[in-house]
Amino acid sequence: MSPPLFALVGPTASGKTEASLVLAERLGAEVICVDSMLVYRGMDVGTAKPTREQRARVKHHLLDLADPSEPFSVARFQSCAREAIANILGRGSRPLLVGSGGLYYRAAVDQLEFPSAAPGIRQMLSVEAAVIGPHALHGRLASFDPQAAGRIDPSNVRRTIRALEVPAVTGRPFSSFSRAWDRYSVGAVRAAGVRMEREILHRRIEDRVLGMMPGLLEEARGLLDHGFGAFITSSQAIGYAEAASCLRGEISQDEAAIRTTRRTKALARRQMSWLKRDPRIRWFVAGEEGAPGIVEAVFAYFEESV
């Protein structure tokens, strides 16, 4: 059997990148970035992507895999992650998963299934939802997949559509793909989590956003010039949507920073909610200095499995 993967996880702005460099060097490991936004080329400042200097110190994987306009699914990420892990182990090194994305972390670590999408079917269901309303559409889902319907709020049209799209493509109920989500393979990973007091994390987020705004505005201007406006103004591109609004003269730079900070704090809460579900994660409390302050304790924890 392969040795367990190492993982350092925690909310955004908790200092994981800096800590992971020290850990990877001491462990002889290579970093696998588990984050939904780091896969996009040209989105460096707003995602706090590891710098060239940091990547020169330690080899990093799963960065810059796609253009912002290119569809990139968690299923594709899972395939890339498994390939990277196999290659690292084949070289006699150890993978160190680093990131905030609970879904992408689980996709890399566990045997989760991600059914394929069918944009045509999704579009038809979207039209139907607009005609009959979200509750009627949810009722149709409940009639043949009550387990999936019970986990989806009737007002959440996007998730209801996805739960109806999957059986149309695969012939399997949507709920059948979620059974592995409650199973955590104990020997698959040795994970350390960064936990911080909310006030400390919020100050770190505020400082990060204020520091990155000038560079983020410049980066967003370049992305807009290259025709990536539709993506960076989408709801998932935190910071870029606000920067685009600022560049269009709709809001000030200060307002862009305020909105980005608010959305980043909300993201950090969602990230922790995801990660806290995993009983394999051992949590380490960090102070003002963030994750670099717990490197010794995390290293000792990882060394127990070597």
For the chain, which domains are there? Answer: 5-110+184-303 (3.40.50.300), 119-182 (1.10.20.140)
In DSSP terms, which residues pair with 193 in a beta bridge? 9, 283
Of residues 275 and 122, the one with the higher pLDDT is: 275
d(CA 24, CA 3): 16
DSSP 3-state assignment of 134?
helix
What percent of the chain has pLDDT above 70? Answer: 99
Stretch (H or E) spanning 257: helix 253-275
What pLDDT digit, counting tens, does each position of 24-33 carry?
999 999 999 9
Of residues 235 and 111, the one with the higher pLDDT is: 111
Per-residue HEC secondary structure of 273-284 comes to HHHCCCCCEEEE
Name the maximum alpha-carbon separation found in the chain. 59
Of the pLDDT bands very low, low, confident and very high (cuts 50, 70, 90), residue 235 is low
Of residues 297 and 235, the one with the higher pLDDT is: 297
The set of residues, in sequence order, having a beta carbon less than 8 Å from that of 205 and lying 6+ positions away, is 12, 13, 261, 264, 265, 268
d(CA 240, CA 218): 10
